[in-house]
Amino acid sequence: MIRKMKGTMDIFPGEALEFRRAEEVMRRQAALYGYGEIRTPVFENTELFVRGVGEGTDVVQKEMFTWTDREEGRSISLRPEGTASVVRALIEHGKFSEAMPQKYFYIGSFFRHEAPQAGRSREFFQFGTELFGAATPEADACAISLASSVLRSLGLAGVRLHLNSIGCAECRPAYRSALLRYYDEHRPELCETCRTRMEKNPLRLLDCKEPGCRALAAGAPRTLDCLCESCRAHFDTLCGLLDEAGVAYEADPAIVRGLDYYTRTVFEFIAEGIGAQSTVCGGGRYDGLVASLGGPDTPAVGVGMGLTRVLLAQKQQGVPAPETPAPLLYIAALGEAARGRGSVLVEGLRRAGVYAESDVVGRSLKAQMKYADKIGARYTLLLGDAELESGRATLRDMEKSEQREIDLNRLADEIR
Ligand code: ATP
Ligand code: MG
Atom number of ligand 1 nearest to Cα 112? 27
Residue 277 Cα to ligand 2 middle (Å): 10
Residue 230 Cα to ligand 1 middle (Å): 30
pLDDT for res 104? 98
Task: Please tell me what DSSP assigns to residue 61.
Answer: I
Beta bridge partners of 395: 381, 404
Residue 307 Cα to ligand 2 middle (Å): 14
Atom number of ligand 1 nearest to Cα 277? 3
* Cα–Cα distance for residue pair 298/281, rounded to 1 Å: 23
pLDDT for res 197? 82
Residue with CA nearest ligand 1 atom 10 = 81
Residues of the chain where predicted confidence (pLDDT) is lower than 50: none
Atom number of ligand 1 nearest to Cα 305? 15
Atom number of ligand 1 nearest to Cα 269? 18
Of the candidates 143, 142, 112, 144, the one whose C-alpha atom is nearest the C-alpha of residue 125 is 112
Tell me which CATH homologous superfamily contains domain 329-415. Answer: Anticodon-binding domain (3.40.50.800)
Domain boundaries along the sequence of the chain: 13-171+227-316, 329-415
- Flag whether the pTM goes above 0.75: yes
* Cα–Cα distance for residue pair 81/261, rounded to 1 Å: 13
* Cα–Cα distance for residue pair 332/364, rounded to 1 Å: 9
Q: Is the peptide bond before 116 cis (omega within 30 degrees of 0)?
A: no
Residue with CA nearest ligand 1 atom 23 = 306
Atom number of ligand 1 nearest to Cα 58? 7
Ligand nearest to the CA of 302: 1
pLDDT for res 78? 98
* Cα–Cα distance for residue pair 362/390, rounded to 1 Å: 23
- In this structure, whether the domain defined by 13-171+227-316 belongs to CATH 3.30.930.10 is answered with yes
Q: Do 329-415 and 13-171+227-316 have the same topology in CATH?
A: no
Indicate the pairing of strand 329-333 with strand 356-358. parallel
Instruction: Please calculate the CA angle 154-156-160 and round it to the nearest 5 degrees.
Output: 140
CA distances from residue 6 to 33, 111, 144 in whole angstroms, order as listed: 37, 12, 33
Atom number of ligand 1 nearest to Cα 59? 7
Residues at CB less than 6 angstroms from ligand 1:
81, 112, 114, 119-121, 124, 126, 258, 277, 279-282, 304, 306, 308-309
Helix 307-316, helix 13-32: angle, nearest 10: 110
Instruction: Please calculate the CA angle 64-118-145 and round it to the nearest 5 degrees.
Output: 80
Ligand nearest to the CA of 261: 1
Other beta carbons within 10 angstroms of residue 190's beta carbon come to: 19
pLDDT for res 258? 67
Task: Yes or no: say if 179 and 202 are a contact pair by the CB < 8 Å rule.
Answer: yes
Residue 306 Cα to ligand 1 middle (Å): 6
Beta bridge partners of 111: 123
Q: Which residues have a Cβ under 8 Å from the Cβ of 406 and sit 6 or more positions away?
A: 381, 392, 393, 394, 395, 414
Residue with CA nearest ligand 1 atom 24 = 120
Instruction: Please calculate the CA angle 361-365-367 and round it to the nearest 5 degrees.
Output: 65
Task: Please tell me what DSSP assigns to residue 278.
Answer: -
Long-range pairs of 20-28 with CB within 8 A, sequence gap ≥ 24: 20/322, 21/322, 22/127, 22/154, 22/307, 22/310, 22/311, 22/314, 23/107, 23/127, 23/307, 25/150, 25/153, 25/154, 26/105, 26/107, 26/127, 26/150, 26/305, 27/105, 27/107, 28/153
Beta bridge partners of 283: 267, 303
Which of 126, 156, 269 most suits a substitution to test ligand 1, by most atoms within 8 Å of the C-beta? 126
Residue 64 three-state SS: coil
Q: In what order do the strands lie in the sheet with 43-45?
A: 43-45, 75-78, 66-68
Residue 349 Cα to ligand 1 middle (Å): 45
Kind and range of the H or E run holding 287: none
Task: Yes or no: say if 250 and 267 are a contact pair by the CB < 8 Å rule.
Answer: no
Helix 192-200, helix 172-185: angle, nearest 10: 150
Of the candidates 58, 113, 48, the one whose C-alpha atom is nearest the C-alpha of residue 85 is 48
Residue with CA nearest ligand 1 atom 20 = 306
* CB-facing half-sphere around the CA of 140: CA atoms within 13 A: 30
pLDDT for res 256? 84
Q: Which residues have a Cβ under 8 Å from the Cβ of 130 and sit 6 or more positions away?
A: 82, 83, 86, 87, 103, 104, 105, 300, 301, 302
pLDDT for res 58? 86
Ligand nearest to the CA of 279: 1
Of the candidates 354, 350, 353, 398, the one whose C-alpha atom is nearest the C-alpha of residue 372 is 398
pLDDT for res 286? 95
Q: What is the DSSP string of 107-159?
A: EEEEE-----BTTB-SEEEEEEEEEES--SHHHHHHHHHHHHHHHHHTT-TTP
* Cα–Cα distance for residue pair 114/121, rounded to 1 Å: 7
